[in-house]
C-alpha cells in the first residue's frame, strides 16, 4: 500500500517536472525564435517615444527691464477620433467657436485617413475661446451629451509683443514656424530660439529621471529706452502730419558708446498681426528705413567735409572764403541752395548758411585723395555693423569707378551724388561728438542665459579725425546754430547740429520740387550725451530742413533731456561744482 | 530513570518524522527567505516606480508652471505697456512734464540701479551645484566614498 502511494507520488512529481521542463523549454524556444526580435522591437516601440522639446523663445527687454517681446499661451484644438461620438454636433459647435464653417470642420472630422487617431482642428487658439469651450465641455459632460467627447486642448507658447507696434522696426517679428524676420528677431534668431532637443521619453517610470532639462532661449536686453522710443515715435508721427511728409526716421544714439536709445521709423506694424506686412511694405528695405534705405543726405554731409578739411589742415575756422554764388568743379558749375552769392564768409558762416559753393571749394582744395580718404575713414560706403538684420550699404563713388566724374568731388562735399543710410551718417558724425572716435552703433545691451549675464562691450570704429578737430568743429556747429537762431535750439541747453536739404535724384536729373530733409545734432556741447538724426521724406509744407527737420530735432532733444535726466547746462555746471 | 530518559531522547532523535520535519523546515526557510527577498524587491521597485511617476508628473507641472509664468509675464507687460500707462496717467489727471518744471538734485553716491532682470541674473550663481549628492550618487558610489573616508563622517 505504502509502495503504491510512493509510485503514484513519483508519477505526479514526474508529471510536474515534465510540465515545468516543458514550460522552460518553451520559454527558451520563444526567446530564441525568429518572432522574438519582432516582439522585442514591438515592446521597444511601446516602451517610450521620441519627443521634440522646443525651448521657450527668449524674451526681449528694453534697457529698463520693460518687456518688449514675450510669449503667450495659445492652444491647439484637436479631436481624438477614437473618442469622438458625434461628429455632426462637434462640427457645429467647433465651427461657431473657432470661426470656421460647419463643412470645413465636418470634413476634417470625417474624411481623415482611417489610421489617424487624432486630428488638429485649429492651432493658435486664444485662451478666452478655449476657456469658453472647456466650460461647454463640462456642461455637456454633466448632461451626458456626447457632442464634444474626444475634444482635446494642447497648450503651447506663441510670440507676443505687449507694446504692439512700438519699436517694431527694431524688434522684427516671429512667424508661426518659429523663425524671426527683420531686426533683433532675425539677427539673434538662433540665440532666441534656443536648441530644440529630440529625446527618447521612456514610459517606464524608473527611467523618468533620464529626461534632461531643455534650456530656454537666450533673453536679450536692448539699449532701447522704451519711454524715449514711444515719445520719439509720437513726435515722428506728428511731424509727418504737420509737414506732410511721406515717411520718416528718427534715431537717438549715445555718442560715447554707440548705444541706440531710440530708433523710430514709419510705417510701423503691429507685431501681433504680422500678416499685415505685405499691405504696409513693398520690399524689405522699407521695414526699417533707418538702416535699410540709403539716400542722398544733402547738407548734413557738410559736417564730414568740414571735419576732414580741418583735420587735414586745409582750412581753419577763421579761414575766409569769398562766395560769388558759383564755382566750377570738373567743368560743371555748382551753385548755392538759393543761387545767391554770400560774399566773404569764414568757415562757421559756410556751415551756418550751408553754402554749397564754399564746401565744393574746400573739397577741391583738399584734393581727390585726401577728401575720399577721409570719407572712407568716416565709413561711407560701408556697413556700420549694427546688430540688426537688413542693413543697407550706401554708395560712395570714388575715382576709378566707372560712374565717377571730377564734378563729384565738388557735389559729394555737400552730400549730393553720395548715398548713405541715416545710421551711417549718425555713426560718421559720432566722431565729432566723441573726441574724434567713431563708435559702432548697437542695440544689444546684454544677454541672459542660464543665469549668466553677458554684456555687449562698446566698440570703436576708428578715429577718422583728431580730438582737437572734433572739439573745434563741435564749437563751430554750436555757434552756427546759435547765430542762425535755428528752430533746432532748445532753451537751457547748448546744442550742435546741421541741417540737410537734398533734392531727390530721378532718371531725368534732380527734382527741385521734392526734397529729403535731414538734421543731425547732439548735446550738450561740452559733454555730448545724445545724438539725434532726423530724416523726413518729401515734406510738402516746406522743402527746407530748417523749417521741418530742425524744429523736430528741438522737440526730440527736449524729450531726450527730460527722459535721460540731463539737467540744463547751468544746473549741470552747479551740480558738477558741488 | 536516567536510562529511560536516554532511551526517549534516542527514540526522538531517531524518529523518521523528525528528519522529514527538518527537511520541511529547511525548505520552508528557503521559501520564506525567497519570499522576503521578493517582497523587499517588489517594495523597492514599487517605491521607485511611484517616485519615477511623481518625477514625471513634476516635470509636466514644471513645464506647465513655466508656461503659465511666461504667459503671466506677458499679460503683465500688456497691462503696463506704454500706451496703457499713458492713458491711465491721463485719466488720473497727470500731464507730461515741461522742461522748466523739473528740479535736479545731486544725491552723493547715488547711481541708477540696473533693471531687475539684470540684477536677478547677477544674483544667480550658476557654478554652485544646488542638488545634494544624495540625489545623484549611486549606492556603489556612496559605499566607495564611505570606504575611502574610513568610516568617518
Q: Please give, rounded to a whole number of angstroms, the shortest distance from the CA of A76 to a CA of chain B.
A: 15
Count of A–B CB contacts within 8 Å?
118
A13: helix, strand or coil: helix
The DSSP H or E segment spanning A532 is strand A530-537
CB proximity B82 to A under 8 Å: yes
Closest partner CB to A67 (pick from B67, B73, B126): B73
A64 → chain B, closest CA residue: B115
Scanning A72-193, the segments in alpha helix (DSSP H) are: 87-98, 102-110, 127-142, 168-171, 183-187, 189-193
pLDDT at A407 over 70: yes
User: Hey, which of A99-103, A168-172, A215-219 has the most confident mean pLDDT?
Assistant: A168-172
Over range B54-67, report the average pLDDT.
Answer: 87
Q: Please give, rounded to a whole number of angstroms, the shortest distance from the CA of B58 to a CA of chain A.
A: 10
- Convert the pLDDT of each residue in A439-453 to its tens digit: 999 999 999 988 888
Is the distance from CB of A534 to CB of A518 less than 8 angstroms? yes
The DSSP H or E segment spanning A230 is helix A226-243
Residue holding cell 568610516?
B151
Would you state the pLDDT for residue B124? 42
Closest partner CB to A205 (pick from B52, B67, B68): B52
A118: helix, strand or coil: strand
Over range A220-249, report the average pLDDT.
Answer: 96
Which regions of chain A carry the CATH code 3.90.1310.10? 53-221
Q: Which residue has the higher pLDDT, A536 or B122?
A: A536
CB proximity A542 to B under 8 Å: no
Would you state the pLDDT for residue B78? 95
Closest partner CB to A451 (pick from B73, B97, B126): B126
DSSP-assigned beta bridge partners for residue A452: A449
Q: What residues of chain A lie within 8 A of the CB of B77, using their CB?
A: 66-67, 70, 162-163
pLDDT at A87 over 60: yes
Q: Does domain A53-221 have CATH number 3.90.1310.10?
A: yes
Closest partner CB to A64 (pick from B106, B115, B121): B115
pLDDT at B9 over 50: yes
CB proximity B130 to A under 8 Å: no
Measured CA distances, A170 to A429, A443, B86 (Å): 22, 8, 22
Would you state the pLDDT for residue A8? 87
B46 → chain A, closest CA residue: A206
Over range A530-544, report the average pLDDT.
Answer: 96
For residue A105, the number of C-alpha atoms closer than 13 Å in the C-beta half-sphere is 24
Is the distance from CB of A427 to CB of A438 less than 8 angstroms? yes
Whether residue A524 is preceded by a cis peptide bond, meaning omega within 30 degrees of 0, is yes
CB contact under 8 A, A221 and B102: no
CB contact under 8 A, B70 and A72: yes
pLDDT at B153 over 60: no
Would you state the pLDDT for residue B128? 43
Q: Please give, rounded to a whole number of angstroms, the shortest distance from the CA of A208 to a CA of chain B.
A: 5
Closest partner CB to B117 (pick from A164, A221, A568): A221
Q: What residues of chain B lie within 8 A of the CB of A219, using their CB?
A: 117
With a pLDDT cut of 90, the percent of chain A lying above it is 72
Phi-psi region of A400 (alpha: psi -120 to 50; beta: other; left: phi over 0): left
User: What CA–CA distance (Å, rounded) separates A377 from A462?
Assistant: 8
Contacts of A450 (CB under 8 A, 6+ apart): A215, B126
pLDDT at A403 over 70: yes
- Convert the pLDDT of each residue in A446-486 to its tens digit: 999 888 888 888 899 999 999 999 999 999 999 999 988 78
Contacts of A344 (CB under 8 A, 6+ apart): A320, A321, A322, A323
Among A35-39, A129-133, A229-233, A540-544, name the one with the lowest average pLDDT.
A35-39
Over range A118-125, report the average pLDDT.
Answer: 91
Residue A18, C-alpha cell as written in the block: 515534465
Contacts of A88 (CB under 8 A, 6+ apart): A106
Would you state the pLDDT for residue B16? 73
ipTM over 0.90: no
Over range A229-251, report the average pLDDT.
Answer: 97
Q: Residue B13 — very low, low, confident or very high, per pLDDT cuts 50/70/90?
A: confident
- CA–centroid distance for A407 within its chain: 38
Q: Dihedral sign for Cα A69, A289, A304, A498, please.
A: negative
Closest partner CB to B99 (pick from A127, A448, A562): A562
User: What CA–CA distance (Å, rounded) separates A105 from A358?
Assistant: 74
Q: Residue A576 — very low, low, confident or very high, per pLDDT cuts 50/70/90?
A: confident
In A118-137, the residues whose Cβ lies within 8 Å of chain B are 127
- CA–centroid distance for A400 within its chain: 36
Which regions of chain A carry the CATH code 3.40.710.10? 226-266+285-577
Q: Which residue has the higher pLDDT, A191 or B99?
A: A191
User: What CA–CA distance (Å, rounded) separates A193 from A180?
Assistant: 9
Residue holding cell 479631436?
A79
A359: helix, strand or coil: helix
CB proximity A204 to B under 8 Å: yes
Task: Say which DSSP state A255 is in.
Answer: T
Is the distance from CB of A178 to CB of A57 less than 8 angstroms? yes
Is the distance from CB of A311 to CB of A212 less than 8 angstroms? no
Is the distance from CB of A444 to CB of A188 less than 8 angstroms? yes
- CA–centroid distance for B153 within its chain: 23
CB contact under 8 A, B125 and A451: yes
Among A245-254, A557-566, B108-117, name the one with the lowest average pLDDT.
B108-117
Would you state the pLDDT for residue B148? 77
Q: What residues of chain A lie within 8 A of the CB of B66, using their CB?
A: 56
pLDDT at A22 over 90: yes
The CB density around residue A479, as the number of other CB atoms within 10 Å, is 18
Q: What's the pTM? A: 0.83
Q: What is the mean pLDDT of chain A?
A: 91
Residue A462, C-alpha cell as written in the block: 576708428
Is the distance from CB of A89 to CB of A110 less than 8 angstroms? no
Q: Does domain A226-266+285-577 have CATH number 3.40.710.10?
A: yes
CB proximity A163 to B under 8 Å: yes
Closest partner CB to B74 (pick from A155, A160, A208): A160
A453 → chain B, closest CA residue: B121
Contacts of A44 (CB under 8 A, 6+ apart): none
User: What CA–CA distance (Å, rounded) separates A480 from A352?
Assistant: 5
Q: Which residue has the higher pLDDT, B11 or A556?
A: A556
User: What CA–CA distance (Å, rounded) separates B137 from A70?
Assistant: 38
Best B99, B112, B113, B137 member to test A by mutation, with max A CBs in 10 Å, is B99
CB contact under 8 A, B122 and A66: no
A499: helix, strand or coil: strand
- Convert the pLDDT of each residue in B100-151 to its tens digit: 888 888 887 777 777 777 776 654 434 444 556 776 677 777 888 888 776 5
Q: Residue A2 — very low, low, confident or very high, per pLDDT cuts 50/70/90?
A: low
CB contact under 8 A, B55 and A208: yes
User: Hey, which of A104-118, A200-214, A501-515, B78-92 has the most confident mean pLDDT?
Assistant: B78-92
Q: Please give, rounded to a whole number of angstroms, the shortest distance from the CA of A123 to a CA of chain B.
A: 17
The per-residue b/e assignment along A286-312, b for 16 or more CB within 10 angstroms, e otherwise, is bbbbbbbbbbbbbbbbbbbbbbbbbbb
Q: Please give, rounded to a whole number of angstroms, the shortest distance from the CA of A3 to a CA of chain B.
A: 17
- Convert the pLDDT of each residue in A137-183 to its tens digit: 999 988 888 888 889 999 999 999 999 999 999 999 999 888 999 99
User: What CA–CA distance (Å, rounded) separates B119 from B56?
Assistant: 32
Is the distance from CB of A533 to CB of A422 less than 8 angstroms? yes
CB proximity B72 to A under 8 Å: no
CB contact under 8 A, A205 and B82: no
Is the distance from CB of A30 to CB of A36 less than 8 angstroms? yes
User: What CA–CA distance (Å, rounded) separates A458 from A453?
Assistant: 16
Choose among A427, A169, A465, A462: nearest CA to A300.
Answer: A427
User: What CA–CA distance (Å, rounded) separates A121 from A91?
Assistant: 10
Is the distance from CB of A376 to CB of A383 less than 8 angstroms? no
CB contact under 8 A, B115 and A227: no
Residue A384, C-alpha cell as written in the block: 556700420
Best A453, A565, A569, A574 member to test B by mutation, with max B CBs in 10 Å, is A453
Residue holding cell 583738399?
A366
- Convert the pLDDT of each residue in A335-356 to its tens digit: 998 888 889 999 999 999 999 9
Q: Which residue has the higher pLDDT, B5 or A15?
A: A15
In B89-128, the residues whose Cβ lies within 8 Å of chain A are 97, 99, 102, 104, 106, 115-118, 121-122, 124-126
CB proximity A558 to B under 8 Å: yes
CB proximity B80 to A under 8 Å: yes
Amino acid at each position: 500500500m505504502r509502495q503504491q502511494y510512493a509510485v503514484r507520488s513519483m508519477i505526479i512529481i514526474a508529471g510536474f517536472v515534465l510540465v515545468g521542463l516543458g514550460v522552460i523549454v518553451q520559454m527558451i524556444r520563444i526567446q530564441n525564435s525568429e518572432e522574438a526580435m519582432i516582439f522585442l522591437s514591438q515592446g521597444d516601440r511601446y516602451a517610450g517615444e521620441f519627443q521634440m522639446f522646443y525651448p521657450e523663445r527668449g524674451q526681449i527687454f528694453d534697457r529698463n527691464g520693460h518687456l518688449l517681446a514675450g510669449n503667450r499661451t495659445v492652444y491647439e484644438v484637436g479631436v481624438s477620433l477614437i473618442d469622438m461620438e458625434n461628429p455632426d454636433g462637434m462640427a457645429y459647435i467647433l465651427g461657431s467657436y473657432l470661426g470656421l464653417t460647419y463643412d470645413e470642420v465636418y470634413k476634417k472630422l470625417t474624411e481623415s485617413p482611417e489610421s489617424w487617431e487624432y486630428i488638429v482642428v485649429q492651432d493658435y487658439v486664444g485662451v478666452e475661446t478655449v476657456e469658453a469651450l472647456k466650460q461647454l465641455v463640462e456642461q455637456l459632460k454633466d448632461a451626458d451629451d456626447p457632442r464634444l467627447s474626444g475634444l482635446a486642448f494642447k497648450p503651447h507658447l506663441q510670440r507676443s509683443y505687449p507694446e504692439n507696434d512700438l519699436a517694431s522696426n527694431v524688434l522684427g517679428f516671429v512667424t508661426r514656424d518659429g523663425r524671426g524676420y527683420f531686426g533683433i528677431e532675425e539677427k539673434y534668431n538662433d540665440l532666441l530660439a534656443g536648441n530644440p532637443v529630440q529625446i527618447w521619453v521612456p514610459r517606464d517610470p524608473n527611467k523618468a529621471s533620464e529626461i534632461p532639462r531643455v534650456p530656454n532661449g537666450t533673453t536679450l536686453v536692448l539699449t532701447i529706452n522704451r519711454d524715449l522710443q514711444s515719445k520719439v515715435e509720437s513726435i515722428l508721427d506728428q511731424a509727418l502730419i504737420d509737414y506732410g511728409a511721406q515717411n520718416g526716421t528718427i534715431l537717438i544714439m549715445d555718442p560715447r558708446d554707440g548705444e541706440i536709445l531710440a530708433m523710430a521709423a514709419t510705417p510701423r506694424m503691429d507685431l501681433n498681426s504680422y500678416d499685415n506686412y505685405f499691405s504696409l511694405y513693398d520690399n524689405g528695405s522699407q521695414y526699417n528705413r533707418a538702416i535699410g534705405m540709403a539716400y542722398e543726405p544733402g547738407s548734413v554731409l557738410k559736417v564730414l567735409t568740414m571735419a576732414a578739411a580741418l583735420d587735414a589742415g586745409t582750412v581753419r575756422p577763421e579761414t575766409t572764403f569769398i562766395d560769388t554764388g558759383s564755382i566750377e568743379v570738373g567743368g560743371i558749375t555748382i551753385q548755392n541752395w538759393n543761387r545767391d552769392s554770400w560774399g566773404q564768409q569764414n568757415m562757421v558762416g559756410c556751415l551756418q548758411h550751408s553754402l554749397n559753393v564754399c564746401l565744393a571749394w574746400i573739397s577741391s582744395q583738399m584734393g581727390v585723395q585726401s577728401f575720399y580718404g577721409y570719407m572712407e575713414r568716416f565709413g561711407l560706403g560701408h556697413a556700420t555693423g549694427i546688430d540688426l538684420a537688413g542693413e543697407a550699404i550706401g554708395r560712395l563713388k570714388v575715382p576709378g569707378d566707372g560712374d565717377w566724374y571730377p564734378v563729384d568731388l565738388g557735389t559729394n562735399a555737400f552730400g549730393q551724388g553720395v548715398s548713405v543710410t541715416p545710421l551711417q551718417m549718425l555713426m560718421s558724425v559720432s566722431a565729432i561728438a566723441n573726441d574724434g572716435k567713431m563708435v559702432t552703433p548697437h542695440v544689444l545691451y546684454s544677454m541672459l542665459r542660464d543665469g549668466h549675464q553677458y554684456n555687449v562691450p562698446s566698440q570703436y570704429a576708428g578715429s577718422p579725425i583728431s580730438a582737437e578737430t572734433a572739439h573745434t568743429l563741435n564749437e563751430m556747429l554750436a555757434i552756427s546754430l546759435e547765430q542762425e537762431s535755428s528752430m533746432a535750439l532748445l532753451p537751457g541747453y547748448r546744442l550742435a547740429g546741421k541741417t540737410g536739404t537734398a533734392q531727390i535724384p530721378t532718371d531725368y536729373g534732380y527734382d527741385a520740387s521734392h526734397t529729403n530733409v535731414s538734421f543731425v545734432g547732439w548735446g550738450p556741447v561740452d559733454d555730448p550725451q545724445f545724438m539725434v538724426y532726423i530724416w523726413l521724406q518729401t515734406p510738402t509744407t516746406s522743402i527746407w530742413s530748417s523749417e521741418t527737420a530742425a524744429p523736430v530735432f528741438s522737440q526730440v532733444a527736449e524729450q531726450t533731456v527730460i527722459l535721460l535726466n540731463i539737467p540744463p547746462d547751468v544746473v549741470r555746471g552747479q551740480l558738477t561744482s558741488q | 530513570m536516567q536510562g529511560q530518559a536516554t532511551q526517549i531522547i534516542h527514540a526522538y532523535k531517531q524518529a523518521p518524522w523528525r528528519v522529514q520535519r527538518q527537511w520541511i523546515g529547511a525548505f520552508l526557510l528557503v521559501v520564506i527567505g525567497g519570499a522576503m527577498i521578493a517582497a523587499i524587491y517588489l517594495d523597492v521597485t514599487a517605491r521607485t516606480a511611484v517616485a519615477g511617476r511623481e518625477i514625471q508628473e513634476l516635470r509636466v507641472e514644471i513645464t506647465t508652471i513655466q508656461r503659465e509664468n511666461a504667459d503671466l509675464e506677458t499679460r503683465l507687460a500688456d497691462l503696463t505697456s506704454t500706451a496703457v500707462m499713458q492713458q491711465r496717467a491721463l485719466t488720473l489727471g497727470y500731464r507730461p512734464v515741461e522742461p522748466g518744471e523739473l528740479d535736479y538734485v545731486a544725491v552723493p553716491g547715488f547711481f541708477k540701479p540696473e533693471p531687475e532682470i539684470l540684477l536677478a541674473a547677477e544674483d544667480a550663481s550658476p557654478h554652485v551645484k544646488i542638488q545634494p549628492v544624495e540625489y545623484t550618487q549611486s549606492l556603489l558610489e556612496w559605499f566607495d566614498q564611505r570606504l575611502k573616508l574610513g568610516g568617518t563622517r
